[in-house]
Amino acid sequence: MAAFARRLAQEEPVPHRVRPDVEAIREVAAVSGAVRPADLVGRQADADRRAETLGGIAAEFDRAVVDGTMTWTMRSTHRAGTLERLASTEAGLADALRRAVDVKTDPAGQVLRRVLAEGVPGHPHAARLPDHVVGEASTAEVAQALLWAMSAKDVGPVLARTSAVAHVESVLKSYEGLLAHGVVGRDRERDLLEQFIDAPTPNPDGGLPLLTLTGIGGSGKSTLLGEALRPRLQALVAGGDVPAVVVIDLDRVAFRPDAEVELSFDVTRQLEVAWPELAAGLAEARVAETRSRSGRRELGSDSGQYVESLVRSTTSLEWSVGDLLRSSPRGVEPVLLVLDTFEEWQRARPFAGPRETWNDPEAVMAEWLDKLRRSMGISGLRVVVSGRAAFSLVPGASIELRELDAAPAAELLGRLCVGRDIAPRLAAQVGGNPLTLHVAARCVGRLDPEERAGFLADGATAPELDEDLRRAVLYDRFLGHIGDPEVRKLAHPGLVLRRVTPELVQEVLAEPCGFTEMTREEADGLVDRLADEVWLVRRAADGSLQHLPEVRRPMLALMARDPAVRDRIPTVHERAAAWYHPQDVDVREPATTENVEAYYHRLMLQTENLTPAIDPWNVQMWSVEDRLYHVRFARELGESVSDLAPRIEAQLRVLRGDRLEPAQAALLPDGLWAQHVDGTGASFVALGEPEAAVDLLLDRRWPSEARRPEWVAQAFCDSARWNDFAGQARASQLRPSGRHEFVNLIVSDDEPARQRVLHSTLPTLPDQADEMLRTFFTALGQVATGRATPDARPRSLPERKAEPSPGFPVDQLRQYVALLLTGARLPWRRGGPFLPDIAGVLAPDPEVMRAFGLLTRDHAFTDVAQELDRLAERARAARPGDRDAPRSHDVLGEFAGRTARRSYKAVAFGGRLRPEALTALRGDNPELRPAIRNVLHAVAPDDAWLKSLGELATALLPIPVVDLRPDALPLVSDSGARTAFVSLVEYVDRSRVTRAFLRDAVKLRPDPRLAALGRAFARWDDAHRILLKGLG
């Protein structure tokens, strides 16, 4: 058997044969958009053969039903490969297009065929392709066709501009519904907005012109913006020479760590519409930065240096675009940036807690806007911010949209088809909020004359009530004036249900609503008549009626206060739960509509019976299945979780991963509180707020049954609380396994705790890379505790077969040290380069890169060192304001990416190393950089502290880049300070001068916190020096 297996392994595999007819079908599909599958196989006479063929290629297509007809569209990866092959021969595309003539396709497919046949014009600045190529296709369909065609034709510039135009058209389309009835009663606000938009181009050295448009929900902010922007956007789409307008809906781009990069990309895309001659350059800047990040192995990486790479990438893109705009007259032209739904950005912090540095969305936005003007070169920028609250960090003008006065409110009602005779009286009844007026118009339009008169005779809603309660009282009156008495009886208690069907009306609602008997036919008719109340319900895809959330939510709150209705609410919930599912839903059952509704109504029963001060309610989770059950069903509930008691709501929200406010987190039982702390603390650490993570952890005694979060050691390390961590480690007899556990112990002042590094263990599910890192840190800890030479053991785990993705690039050097100590193999592919991530270990010091050459005997490193020599000469000769001088993002970004593309040898030399070569192995200190920048920020003695630090750094740096010189660094109070600290500390550390930098900083600012930081780094550095010296 063994011989047979060996012989089988030696035999050549049978080559995969592709049926010619199937390949021909693929080719036709590749030059088409959506097609009928039958048309693809129409030439095959045998029905079984056609079915077999389609079955064999079905996985290569996306399927959809359009106007009742099934269509297939070839998936992008399969299309790209087929088009590349066809385009590689002179007749390939032409033959496929000829065979596809009789296959009907959609407009995008028709454009694709014309582009493949004719190519694209040589003047990509036109707003659209020639009319005969576009045909009847929309801009979005043209963009899709060009995206498909990229594999066969050079359509990049045209695609970029077409996609930008499609985005502007989508913005215009979003305004259509808002402007259907025009803007009423906002003449003064409209004039102020227009004056701001059309004001002369601002002085680039002055303050940023900013206008905030505020108002409560439903006051018409987006409608007013739409009226002002629509003609301007229409002119841009038509190719008119008008000022640029960029519209960003912050409901779509919520605040998160990398939002600034996405926002900058979005701005450049939309500018292509107004500035077509720059479209190719703007698109190339985005492509170049994406390519550079990929070369530096930063895309899709979970590297701990995420914040640093983000700052570097954003800065690099801004400067690239800035160079383009400063060489063009467009750079001084006016640009209007509109930030809509700003409240979504303001409140969508990744975690609750103090608004500081990375956790303050307004500060992040203020810095980004400043960089658009000063770095990206959009000197004519002016900004309109629309939201429910003002932009407090940037001074500017403001317009508040209050309720409409009586006359314009009546005019709006008239446009909404309310009779002129009753519009003024209705406006007096409901107030001047435009959204409320729309609901009122829909309701009153359903009333017969007698009911309408009765409603109008009731008097106005009490103005002293808050907005939500006023609406609830108003909607309650709407319910009371529904013309059909049976619908009126059904509607009020019926709001307890999220959905209404004839079956639910007959079997759940009939008795609580006062119906003694009801047939199925009567229930059908009642639901049909309820559907006419378009202000209250809408028809869902499954045929049920669903209450409008903006009506149901305030009404539920009002019903809970009404003694006449309150007692019926539990009855409806109980009957609904029993009807949907007689028993509790089993944890293994799927989240069907029926099961989700049963889950909801049973939780609402808990809400009705719960006295929070007496009756604690906890999600019952005895197993993994229990947890997954609650997670699945909580997600299906959506925002209906806010209907539940606060304690229940908090538990379901944390289970499904929602962000909790501190008051909500306080309601959680210990187990779920630990889960909340785990996720929220990780966000704190990721965004540079480690102190907040530690405070959150220590807010409550940690449950003994809960697993401690993985970020704990890093939070203590990043906040420079090494001694606090060491004390806990000593008390708990910690056996370190993770990198930050080792770092905390090695640099701490607690000598007994430092001995814990001698009792390390491997992390859960380790591989060879993990073991080599543990070997390095254990050896480092041993010399830090006084051992002259480390006791390193050879590896015992199997080799890792794939190239690793280390937490930090410097881990490659640490693993090489472990190789020298133990003889273990490096945990990446044999035959690959000695260092897979060259860009990550690049040091902006020619002597260090020469040391890499000595270490590997590879002349490529010597060539890099010579390039760095030339960069150093340029940097030292640069004068303030020199835009061609090297900057930190140039050296660690573009230059590092270019360096990584060189060809390097696959081997490094073992044995005893020359002392000069050991310099390469010292590496940088990424684990300590967050603590360094946090302490430096915390001890700032004055507003010029960053400039003072820049002066210290410039005197030490081998390549003194111009953006880190004192004249280029911001004040501590400036919006750019947070990113400046990141760039300064990283560049100093990558240049291997951190110890000297901290020593000089302590002399300049003798603060105990800074002195402790200097001691900790010196202890860390000494341990490396002793360890590496033993290798020489």
231 and 277 inside one domain: yes
Residues near 508 by beta carbon (within 8 Å), at least 6 away in sequence = 497, 572, 575, 576, 579
Looking up tokens 């049963």 gives: 598
Note whether residue 432 is domain-resident. yes
Q: In this structure, are residues 411 and 366 in contact, taking their beta carbons and an 8 Å threshold? A: no
36 and 104 inside one domain: yes
Identity of the amino acid at 635: R
**Rounded Cα gap, residues 58 and 73, in angstroms:** 10
CB burial of residue 161 (10 Å; 0-12, 13-18, 19+): buried
Q: Which among 400, 415, 435 is the end of a domain?
A: 400
Helix (H) or strand (E) holding 1015: helix 1008-1029
Q: Quick one: DSSP state of residue 846?
A: H
Closest CA to 435 of 340, 547, 551, 558: 551
- Answer whether 0.75 is exceeded by the pTM: no
Torsion-angle region of 68 (φ positive above 0: left; ψ -120 to 50: alpha; else: beta): left
Helix (H) or strand (E) holding 165: helix 156-178
Q: What integer pLDDT is reported at residue 17 of this predicted model?
A: 45
**Rounded Cα gap, residues 963 and 984, in angstroms:** 9
Please compute, for residue 127, the number of CA atoms within 13 A of its CA located in the half-sphere on the CB side.
18
Closest CA to 734 of 757, 702, 711, 706: 757
- Angle, CA 741 vertex, CA 739 and CA 744 arms, to 5°: 110
**Rounded Cα gap, residues 364 and 982, in angstroms:** 14
Please compute, for residue 472, the number of CA atoms within 13 A of its CA located in the half-sphere on the CB side.
17
CATH number where 525 lies: 1.10.10
Q: In this structure, are residues 35 and 79 in contact, taking their beta carbons and an 8 Å threshold? A: no
Q: In 75-217, at which residue ranges do the beta strands (DSSP E only) sit?
A: 210-214
Identity of the amino acid at 173: K
Q: Quick one: DSSP state of residue 891?
A: I
Note whether residue 643 is domain-resident. no
- φ/ψ of 977, rounded to 5, equals -65, -40
Note whether residue 239 is domain-resident. yes
Q: How far is CA 366 from CA 194, 233, 363, 386, in A?
A: 23, 25, 5, 15
**Rounded Cα gap, residues 113 and 106, in angstroms:** 11
Q: Quick one: DSSP state of residue 109?
A: H
Q: Which among 501, 531, 565 is the end of a domain?
A: 565
Note whether residue 758 is domain-resident. no
Which residues span the domain enclosing 485? Answer: 478-565
Identity of the amino acid at 847: E
Concatenating the DSSP letter of every residue in 213-252 gives EE--TTS-HHHHHHHHHHHHHHHHHTT----EEEEEETTT
**Rounded Cα gap, residues 409 and 430, in angstroms:** 10
Q: What integer pLDDT is reported at residue 240 of this predicted model?
A: 84
192 and 266 inside one domain: yes
CATH number where 378 lies: 3.40.50.300
**Rounded Cα gap, residues 23 and 25, in angstroms:** 5
Give the relative orientation of helices 156-178 and 221-237 as an angle to the nearest 10 degrees.
Answer: 140
Q: In this structure, are residues 505 and 523 in contact, taking their beta carbons and an 8 Å threshold? A: yes
59 and 107 inside one domain: yes
Note whether residue 197 is domain-resident. yes
126 and 267 inside one domain: no
Q: How far is CA 152 from CA 75, 83, 97, 103, 724, in A?
A: 16, 6, 13, 20, 61
Note whether residue 426 is domain-resident. yes
Q: How far is CA 628 from CA 402, 589, 642, 680, in A?
A: 46, 11, 20, 20
Number of structural domains the chain divides into: 4
- Angle, CA 599 vertex, CA 596 and CA 603 arms, to 5°: 140
Q: What integer pLDDT is reported at residue 612 of this predicted model?
A: 38
- φ/ψ of 303, rounded to 5, equals -60, 145
Structure tokens at 129: 């392709």
Note whether residue 520 is domain-resident. yes
Q: What share of the chain is helix, strand, coil (3-state, %, to 5)?
A: 60, 5, 35
* Spans of the chain, pLDDT less than 70: 1-20, 43-45, 121-128, 217, 252-259, 293-306, 344-359, 388-390, 446-447, 451, 455, 458-481, 534-535, 564, 587, 607-623, 763-768, 788-806, 824-833, 906-912
**Rounded Cα gap, residues 84 and 93, in angstroms:** 10
379 and 335 inside one domain: yes
CB burial of residue 254 (10 Å; 0-12, 13-18, 19+): middle
Q: How far is CA 998 from CA 147, 644, 887, 936, 1001, in A?
A: 52, 54, 22, 9, 5
417 and 395 inside one domain: no
**Rounded Cα gap, residues 29 and 73, in angstroms:** 7
Torsion-angle region of 342 (φ positive above 0: left; ψ -120 to 50: alpha; else: beta): alpha
**Rounded Cα gap, residues 858 and 596, in angstroms:** 64
Helices (H), 568-711: 568-580, 593-609, 624-637, 646-655, 662-665, 670-686, 690-697
549 and 446 inside one domain: no
Q: What integer pLDDT is reported at residue 610 of this predicted model?
A: 42
396 and 250 inside one domain: yes
259 and 117 inside one domain: no
**Rounded Cα gap, residues 120 and 129, in angstroms:** 7
435 and 508 inside one domain: no
Strands 499-500 and 545-547: antiparallel
State pLDDT tens for residues 222-276.
889 999 999 999 999 888 888 999 998 887 654 454 567 788 888 998 999 899 8
Note whether residue 673 is domain-resident. no
Q: What integer pLDDT is reported at residue 819 of this predicted model?
A: 82
Closest CA to 861 of 824, 908, 816: 908
385 and 408 inside one domain: no
Q: What integer pLDDT is reported at residue 832 of this predicted model?
A: 60
